[in-house]
Amino acid sequence: MSQPQTHTAETAGPAWLKEVHFDNSGLIPAIAQDADTGTLLMVAWMNRDALMETAQTQRAVYWSRSRQRLWRKGEESGHVQQVKEIRLDCDGDVILLKVKQEGGIACHTGRESCFFRRLDTTSWTTTDPVLKDPEQIYK
């Protein structure tokens, strides 16, 4: 299986990419946020190729650590993220994607957001409903 690619500053690519600081594994965390509501939808990882493809296609592409390959959000579920804006944090080591979430579901559990649990003193409380049974999403 292929590994995330690490590239040196000399690697060809757009000038903006030189300001992105990937970790030692060639990855950078990427936060997906609903462009209209501001809801935080999910956090994933991107390598250089995922970020470049996302910028070129305006469709969210991540690096799947479990699959060890590029993961085009929605490739199985249909819940594509259309990218409206890409932002880089002040340290250059976190990406923020402002997206339009197709189907209103970002989480593999069938919820709008992966952040559906809240800590209530001593335990986690599920706060957001399942919008679609994952068994119906992933066949």
pLDDT at residue 13 in the model: 83
Q: How far apart (Å, rounded) are the C-alpha atoms in residues 30 and 33?
A: 10
Phi first, then psi: what are they for 44, rounded to 5°?
-140, -170
| Single pTM value for the model | 0.88
Q: What percent of the chain has pLDDT over 70?
A: 91
Residue pLDDT, tens place only, 42-58: 999 999 999 999 999 99
60-66's contacts with Cβ under 8 Å and 24+ in sequence apart are: 60/30, 60/32, 60/97, 60/99, 62/30, 63/4, 63/27, 65/27
Residue pLDDT, tens place only, 63-115: 999 999 999 999 999 999 999 999 999 999 999 999 999 999 999 999 999 99
